[in-house]
Structure formats: structure tokens, C-alpha cells
Amino acid sequence: MPAWTIAAAQYTACNRNVAENIAHHLRFIEAAAKLTCQLIVFPELSLTGPDTSSPLPPPPDRELLEPLSYAASRHGITIFAGLPVEQNGERHKGVAVFVPGNTAPLMLCQGTCQTPQARHISILAPEAEDNELDPLASLLAAGTCTREFQQQQSVQQLQRLAHKYAIAVLKSNFAGGSALWDEHGQLIVRADSGELLLTGRKYEGGWEGEIIPMRESLYAIDESRCDA
């Protein structure tokens, strides 16, 4: 049995349609739960859409996010979703962390943080410096919304961090290129374009990865496969 199963959701959110984006999140969370994942990471601004306009939209009302808190507790899965947050009267790209058993998410500016769970997980903004990395972290999660021409720089940075700090790195990107690197900086699995779930399973001997297209048939995942 794997010691840990994690997932990255790859899809393009609807700009500023929070209710529709939450419904889409729940579909991915349901699929990840059927695959016994303990963690799922969504792309940057996944709840409001990768809107390049300025300023950022307002943060969603907390009441709208209640279905995600419920899903985290129901499935025993930690959820990282992207959204704007307000700090000192300004809006910044941020992360909502939904932890099983908590009725409300932890709202954080996008950057490095430690999640309130047994395993230490850091969240890194694409522009963050590597000296912000939590030295106790066992996984670095990055939610991005980079285009194809920006992918090389992002990949090089994350691969370098994995190797430098001997830490696994999970990247969720909206347009393609979601990926998992192991603690040696070796690529385990990388996605092309399309709406999909990228999963990683940590065993005693290392990591295994898989790409799962998001289709209606995903709801009929064979139970023997879930327990593999």
C-alpha cells in the first residue's frame, strides 16, 4: 500500500464564476477521493479564474466555500485552492487550505506556508525566492497559471528546488504541464494539455505517477484500481 497519495488538478477555471468553479472543484475532489488521495492541489486563482485584469476580483464569500470544507471532511482530503485574499487593504493572489475537520478554510497569501497537518507542506508562489522554503517541509506544492512559453522557466525552478532541498514537488497548472518530481529532482509524471487529474503515490521504494483524463466515465473507476 502507498504511504501517501496526492493529486494535482489541471483545468481552466471560468473567470469570476465562483459557483461554477466550486462545482468543478467538487468533481475533481470526488475523483481524487475515489483514488484514495489525501491531498489535492488546484491551479493559481482556481476559484475565480486566471483573470489577468487588474485589480484582482474580490475574495469569494466564505459561505460559498462551505461545500469545499464539507468535501474535505467527508473524504478526509486536504484541498489547496487558489483565490484572491485581502491583506492590509490590498488584494493578492492567495490560497485557501481546506483541512478535514475544519469548518472554515485557512486563507493565506500565495507564498510559502506550512499546512496544519502531520506532513509539512509548503506552498510556493511562482515568483517566490527559494530561501522562503520551509526547511521542515516534505512536499512543495505550486499552483500556477503559466502559458506554454513560460513553462520552461517554471519547470527549471521547481526541479532545482526538488534537487536542492531533497523535497518532492507537485505542480498544478491550468493550461498543461502539471507535474510531480521526486526528492532527487527526477520527473515522475508530467501532463500535456487537457482537463485531467495527475496523481502520485509514494511507496517505500519511491514514487509512481499517473495521468487520468477527466471524463464522465471517471465516476466508474474500478474499486480494485483505487486500492492498488
Q: Is 30 a residue whose pLDDT tops 60?
A: yes
pLDDT tens for 183-208 read: 999 999 999 989 999 999 999 999 99
What's the rounded mean pLDDT across residues 113-139? 65
CATH of the domain at 45: 3.60.110.10
Q: Alpha-carbon distance 140 to 158, whole Å?
A: 9
Tell me whether the omega of the peptide bond preceding residue 100 falls within 30 degrees of 0, making it cis: no
**Cα gap 206→5, rounded to integer Å:** 12
Residue 116, pLDDT above cutoff 60:
no
Q: Is 217 exposed, middle or buried (0-12, 13-18, 19+ CB in 10 A)?
A: exposed
**Number of domains composing the chain:** 1
pLDDT reading at 153 higher than 90: no
pTM for the full model? 0.87
Average pLDDT of the residues in 152-165: 80
Nearest Cα to Cα of residue 24 among 37, 42, 6: 42
Q: Give exposure, 197-215, as e/b (b: 16+ Cβ within 10 Å).
A: bbbbbbeeeebbbbebebe
110 has a pLDDT exceeding 90: no
Q: Which of 11-20, 76-85, 95-104, 154-163 has the lowest mean pLDDT?
A: 154-163
Mean pLDDT of 38-46: 94
pLDDT category at 11 given cuts 50, 70, 90 is confident
Q: Which domain holds residue 69?
A: 4-226
